[in-house]
Every structure is written in C-alpha cells, then in structure tokens.
Structure 1
Amino acid sequence: MLQRDYLMRMIEQVASAIGQVMGLRRQMRHQEALLVIDELLDSRFRLNGRLIRSLSDEDIVGMMTTNGVMETENIQAIALLLKQESEIYEEMGDGARAYPLQLKALQLFARLAAADAPKVLADSDAEAERLLLKLSDCELPAATKRLVMDWQESRGRYDQAENWLYELLVEGEAGRDEAVAFYRRLLPLPDERLAAGGLPREEVEEGLAQAEADAWLSSRE
C-alpha cells in the first residue's frame, strides 16, 4: 500500500511538473521552466539534479536499482525530465546543452524499453524511437550504438539490430565474437519471429557463417 501511494504521488508530481514546464515553454519563460525541472530533480529523487546530469545512464540505472530490481518509474521520470530540459535548450538555441541531455534520455529510455518496463509515465520504446530519430544526424558514441542494438534486438527488430552491429564492426568497436554471439542468439527463434523482425532464417545462417569465418565485413562491402 505504501509503495502504491508513493508511486501515485510521484506520478502526480512529475505529470504536474511537466504540465507546468510545457505551459512555461509556450510563454517562452524558459529559465522558469528549467528551474521547475531542477527543483523536482533535487527534491524527488535520491540524487540531485547536478549529479543526475553528470552520471552516465548506466550509473543512474545502477543507483536506481534495489535488490536487483530496477525502479523503472523513477528512471522513466528522470528520462522525461531530461528530455524536457533538452527541448528547452533547443528552443533557446543552445544545441551544445541540448545534445548530451537528449543522448542521456535516449539511453535511459532504451534501457527501459529493453527491460520491457511498464508504461507508467510514458511509452519508453516510443520515446526512444523519437529521440533516436532526432539524433539521426549525429554520430552516436559506440556505447550508445551498442545499447541501441541491444534494445532493437530485445524488441524483435533484428534487421535494425544487425545494422547497428555492422556499424560497430566497421568502426572496430565490436569483433568477431560479438557478431557470432548475435546470430547464435537468433538461431533458436521460430522462423515467423525472425521473418517478422526483418531477418529471415537464411540470412541469420548466412550471417553466422560469415561471422564465424571472420568474413562478415567483406561480404557487406
């Protein structure tokens, strides 16, 4: 009961704050909107706003995990607030501040989507897709590409996961063993599921053979 009450209060508080922020944005009162976000980050979570912005997405998730259980609602709230903050900086013409916030929000939403987190405050999968599209003209860090690859695989979008794997291989950020492991994870899946994910069984078998022969990259050139 206490946990449910806490969750409901958190949802109401975050939803109210986001509504307030969006209202201030419409009035072009950006600094006030940033203050609302900062105050909520400082008061609602165990980490203050400055620390949240400085930590990696992995560290945030780690600090928001208790006894091996992710506090998905808290992580989702943080990701939403960071996304709002990035949009404010975009409206202010400050892309340098917007980009790292967008990146961190993408990473958090991707982790939540991969974990199939409940849609408490938002649809994490849809939010990650929107942020990935927004950042499509940017060169993402290798760690983010790997995270996106894992997320796409977890959602059954195997062709997209393979594309991200290819990018990592080309850049030297992944190797033969990772490619082999990817295809071997897919092999036991039903044919219908592989086809629905854009990577039919024959393509999985071909990719595995090329990866095992360390000829995967040359076959794509």
Structure 2
Amino acid sequence: MFERDYLIRLLTQAGLVLGKAMGLKEQKKQKEALDLIDEFLGKELRLRSRLAIGLSDQDLLSMLSVTGNPNAESVAVVAAFLQQEADLLEDLGQTDDSLPRYEKALRLNLYLIRNDMEIEVAEWNVRDRIAQLLAALSPYELDTTTKSSLWPWHESNGEFTDAEDLLYELREEGEVTAEEGAAFYERLSSRDDSVLEAGGMPRSEMEEGRRQWDALTKENV
C-alpha cells in the first residue's frame, strides 16, 4: 500500500512539475525549466538527467527498480522529463544534447509497451508520447540502439513497411541476423491479407521482400 501511494503521488507531483516547466518554456525561461526538472528528478528519484543519459538503458532501468523490476510509473516519469528537457534544449539550439534525450525517452516508452506496463492515466498515455517523440526525431538519423527498439514496435503496430526499412538498416549496421529477418517475414506471412495491406505491404510485396532478404543474406554466408 505504501509503495502504491508513493507511485500515485509521484505521478501527481511529476504532472505538476511538467506543467510548471511548460509554463516557463512559454515564457522563454528554458534554463529555469531545466533547473526545475533536474531538481525534481534529484529529489524524487535520486537521479540527475546527465546521469540518466550517461547510463545504458538497462542500468537506468535497474536504478528504477525496487523489487527487481522497474516501476512503470518511475520509468514513465523519467521518460516524460527527458522528453521535456529535449524540447527545452531544442529551443536553445542545443541539438547535440536534445537528441540523446529524445531517443532515450522513446526507448523507455517502447520498453513500457513491450512489457505491457502502460499506465491507465490520460496524462501519461505512452502511445501518445511515442507519437510525439517520433515526430520530434523524424528529421534526424536514429542511433542503432533506438532502431533496434523501434523495429518490433513498428511491426506490432501494423506498420510493416517502416519495420522492413529498419530491418535493412539494422542489417547494414550489423545489428540483425539473417535468421531474425527470416522470422520477421515468416510472422508477416501468417497475417491476413487485409492486415498486410493496411500495413502498406500487400502479400505479393511481402513475398518479394522475403525472396530478396533470403537472396541477400545467402550472398553473405
């Protein structure tokens, strides 16, 4: 009960701080907003944004764990604050600092989806935040870690052409195996024709993609 009360309070307080930060952003007080966010993270989660960015995703998730598993609320709060920081830094023209925050925020939200840890509160709608982050990142090249997290998201979301594009990008970067690609096309082959077409990949195109993948990967054996 104590932990549940704490997590509810965390979401409430985080929402208030995010609102204040957005107000400061509108007043062109980005640096004050950044200080506010950093102070909250340090007080409530004993975490500073620079530390969050410096840690691997797994190490960060371990820091947000209490009984061996990360709390969905803590992960969602950190992701939201990293996203807000990224927006503020983007306003200040500090793209080199904003992009890693956007990407880590995206990966944290994808982690919540992948592990069925969505929060049933409108303000913390994970899927809405993913859409916002993808829009913010659309002009930029994503790093390999983010692409690896995003590839299964596109597939599960029925965005098959986007998933296929990332599959080939990951192959070029040496981050996906021939077997993983073959399994991707096998999963698609079990989908109904209507689902494939809705995902932008009619069955004929899917089968052609599978033949190309098989030919390409056999060439490199």
> Shorter-chain TM-score: what band?
0.7 to 0.9
Contact 1:111 1:151 (8 Å CA) reproduced: no
Q: Distance in 1 between matches of 2:161 and 2:95?
A: 31
Gaps of 5+ in 1: none
Superposition deviation, residue 131 in structure 1: 1.8
Q: Secondary structure at the match of 1:96?
A: helix
Give the Cα separation in 2 of the matches to 1:137 and 1:129: 14
1:113 deviates by 3.2
Question: Is the 8 Å Cα contact of residues 183 and 208 (structure 1) preserved in structure 2?
Answer: yes
- Whether 1:150 aligns to 2:178 is no
> Cα–Cα, structure 1 residues 204 and 188, in superposed 2: closer, same or farther, change >3 Å?
same
Q: Which residue of 2 aligns with 1:75?
A: 75
Is this contact kept in 2: 1:114–1:155, CA < 8 A? Answer: no
Shift of 1:15: 0.5
Look up the SS of the partner of 1:137 in the other structure.
Answer: coil
Q: Does 1:178 align with 2:180?
A: yes
CA RMSD of aligned residues (A): 2.6
CA gap of 1:119–1:200, structure 2 versus 1, over 3 A, is: farther
Alpha-carbon separation, structure 2, partners of 1:11 and 1:95: 28
Asked whether the equivalents of residues 109 and 126 of structure 2 are also in contact (C-alpha less than 8 Å), the reply is: yes
| 8 Å Cα contact 1:114-1:154 kept in structure 2 | no
Could you say if the C-alpha distance between residues 46 and 136 of structure 1 is closer, same or farther in structure 2, counting changes exceeding 3 Å? Answer: same
> Could you tell me how far apart the structure 2 residues matched to 1:207 and 1:216 are?
14
CA contact (8 A) 2:62 2:68 kept: no
When structure 1 is superposed on structure 2, of 194-203 and 174-183 the one drifting more is 194-203
User: TM-score normalized by structure 1?
Assistant: 0.84
Number of equivalences: 217
Q: Percent of counterpart pairs with the same letter?
A: 39
Match in the other structure for 1:107: 107
TM-score (normalised: structure 2): 0.84
Partner of 1:24: 24
Q: How far apart are residue 69 of structure 1 and its match? A: 4.3
Q: 1:203 to 1:66 in 2, by over 3 A?
A: farther
CA contact (8 A) 1:186 1:194 kept: yes
| Contact preservation (8 Å) 1:169, 1:175 | yes
Listed as ranges, the matches of 1:1-221 within 5 Å are 1-45=1-45, 47-65=47-65, 69-116=69-116, 117-120=118-121, 121-214=123-216
Segment of structure 1 superposing worse, 128-137 or 67-76 = 67-76
**Equivalent residue letter for 2:74:** N
Q: Would the aligned equivalents of 2:49 and 2:82 in 1 still touch at CA under 8 Å?
A: no
CA distance in 2, matches of 1:201, 1:28: 51
CA deviations 1:130-153 (Å, max 9, x no partner) are 222222222211221121112111
1:213 partner SS: helix
Point out the more displaced range, 62-71 or 52-61: 62-71
Q: Secondary structure at the match of 1:107?
A: helix
Is there any run of 5+ residues in structure 2 with no aligned partner, and where?
none
- Conserved in 2, the CA contact under 8 Å of 1:110 and 1:151? yes
Tell me by how many angstroms 1:67 deviates: 5.6
C-alpha spacing 1:46/1:191, structure 2 compared with 1 (3 Å): farther
1:194 and 1:62, CA in 2 relative to 1: closer, same or farther beyond 3 A? farther
Distance 1:58 1:193, change over 3 A: farther
Letter in 1 for 2:181: A
